[in-house]
Copies of this chain bind each other. A is one copy, B any other.
Amino acid sequence: MKLARIEDFEVGQHVTFTKTFTEDDVQRFIEITGDVNPLHVDEEFASRTQFGGRVLHGMLTASILSTMVGMVLPGAGAIYRSQTIRFLLPVHIGETVTAHFVVRSIDRAKHRLTIDSWIENGAGKRVLEGTCEAGLLKT
């Protein structure tokens, strides 16, 4: 297996991952977490709120930051060190979103990356944003 090495990365590097969140994803997230907050499961309730209908759990949307770290950048060999998340806009079931990672800085001695991370909806608006720190496995 080829593991990521710190030499593979450069500041400004930009990668993306796109996903459409389905009803099945919501059900899987509920099976994991037990989070049946009415905003996520009760259409009649949610339609009367400022969101105008059921929305994804914010941490479900954020789950694709894991995909980014584990599969895209750094990918195999990554160690997730930290993540900040500001939830900016709701995501409705069936929406397609795209996660973006841009390498902000690299600590080549410690084999660590700091990454600007955000997720956009189909209209190009950010639904969440934050900073990711990832290291690399000792090999």
Listed in ascending order, the chain A residues whose CB lies under 8 Å from chain B are 1, 19, 24-25, 28-29, 31-40, 42, 45, 49-50, 57-60, 62-67, 69-71, 75-76, 78, 80-87, 130, 137-138
Contacts and interface: CB of A to CB of B under 8 A. Distances in A.
Listed residue (A33, A71, A83, A87) with the most chain B CB atoms within 10 angstroms of its CB: A33
A36 to B, nearest CB: 7
Nearest to A86: B82
A39 B80 CA distance: 11
A3 B115 CA distance: 37
A66 B33 contact: yes
20 contacts: A24-B31, A29-B32, A33-B63, A33-B64, A33-B67, A34-B67, A35-B71, A36-B70, A37-B69, A37-B70, A37-B78, A39-B70, A49-B137, A50-B138, A57-B66, A57-B70, A58-B80, A59-B66, A80-B87, A81-B87
